[in-house]
Amino acid sequence: MAPTTDERFTRIYETHYPAVLAYCARRVDRSDAEDVANEVFVVLWRHVDNFDDEAPLPWLYRVAHGSIRNRRKSSRRRFALVMRLGGCRASRQSRPTSSW
What's the number of domains the chain is made of? 1
Question: Would 92 be classed as within a structural domain?
Answer: no
The whole domain housing 26 covers: 5-87
**Domain assignment present for 100:** no
pLDDT values of the chain reduced to their tens digit, one per residue, 100 residues: 888 999 999 999 999 999 999 999 999 998 899 999 999 999 999 999 887 767 899 999 999 999 999 999 988 898 888 888 886 655 555 554 444 4
Query: How much of the chain is helix, strand and coil, in % rounded to 5?
Result: 80, 0, 20
Question: What is the pLDDT, as a whole number, of residue 75?
Answer: 85
| 53 assigned to some structural domain | yes
Would residue 97 count as lying in a domain? no
- What integer pLDDT is reported at residue 99 of this predicted model? 44
Contact in structure between 12 and 53 (CB atoms under 8 Å): yes
The pLDDT value recorded for residue 98 is 44
Which has the closest alpha carbon to 32: 82, 86, 68, 76?
68
- What pLDDT shows up at residue 42? 97
Task: Give the CATH number for residue 78.
Answer: 1.10.1740.10
- Structure pTM? 0.77
